[in-house]
Amino acid sequence: MNIETILSNASVIPVIEIPNLDVVSELVAALTGGGLKVIELTLRTDCALEALSTMKAQAPDLFIGMGTILSEDDVEKSIDAGADFLVTPGASLSLLAALKSAGRPALPGVATVSEAITAIDAGFNALKFFPAEASGGLPVLKAIHAVMPNVSFCPTGGIDAKKATDYLALPNVPCVGGSWIAPKNLIANQDWNAIEHNAKIASALK
Ligand SMILES: O=C(O)C(=O)C[C@H](O)[C@H](O)COP(=O)(O)O
């Protein structure tokens, strides 16, 4: 499985912060019930790695990426936990090398053309564009397409369902990421119906 195949299975990748393991089972049921095939967890809570393993056991066919990867140590821990792919918000040369040698599909984060060239040099053709809206959003991705038409981007950061449609209309955007499908407040309120509803809308986007 390569990153292009994973991205082609998802127009929207929900980026999810797991507060505790108690929510995992119903959260996965809501996301998969809404038709989503790919999700990303953030490595920002203590239980994130265990949550990933628990989710994979519950839903082996769900592609689960680990996001917020900042270091080689994060890469190793995420692979040990069973991450199907790895996502970083940005990248140093050493982090790019660690992603490459991990042998797991990866989506390094970039916010500028020079960062994109650095990631391409390291062997990556699918990149996360982060933070998408704050970095200039649609016009930036349109301009980048002109100079690197073979590179795909998953814009993430400040995107909602409405903006997602505009991004997905770009030729270099196979999918977008965002927290709006399963935001912290809906998870805290255990509002699984609302999350499943958001997931249905997200999985219907093209
Ligand atoms: O931790 C990461 O790796 C991230 O991707 C940071 C944010 O969680 C996402 O960018 C979602 O951002 P919002 O959709 O604007 O809430």
> Model's pTM, two decimal places?
0.96
Identify whether the C-beta of residue 190 lies closer than 8 Å to the C-beta of residue 23.
yes
Q: How many domains does the chain have?
A: 1
Kindly state if the Cβ of 90 falls inside 6 Å of ligand 1: no
How far, in Å, CA of 12 to CA of 54, rounded? 22
CA dihedral sign, ordered 198, 17, 166, 88: negative
How far, in Å, CA of 183 to CA of 206, rounded? 21
* Residue nearest (by alpha carbon) to ligand 1 atom 13: 157
Helix (H) or strand (E) holding 106: strand 106-107
Q: What is the pLDDT of residues 155-191, one digit of tens each?
A: 999 999 999 999 999 999 999 999 999 999 999 999 9
Residue 136 identity (one-letter amino acid): G
Q: What is the ipTM of this complex?
A: 0.94
The CATH code of the domain that includes 112 is: 3.20.20.70
The domain of 20 spans: 3-204
How far, in Å, CA of 153 to CA of 189, rounded? 32
The yes-or-no answer on residue 77 being catalytic is no
Q: State the average pLDDT over residues 13-23.
A: 98
Q: What is the pLDDT of residues 72-99, one digit of tens each?
A: 999 999 999 999 999 999 999 999 999 9
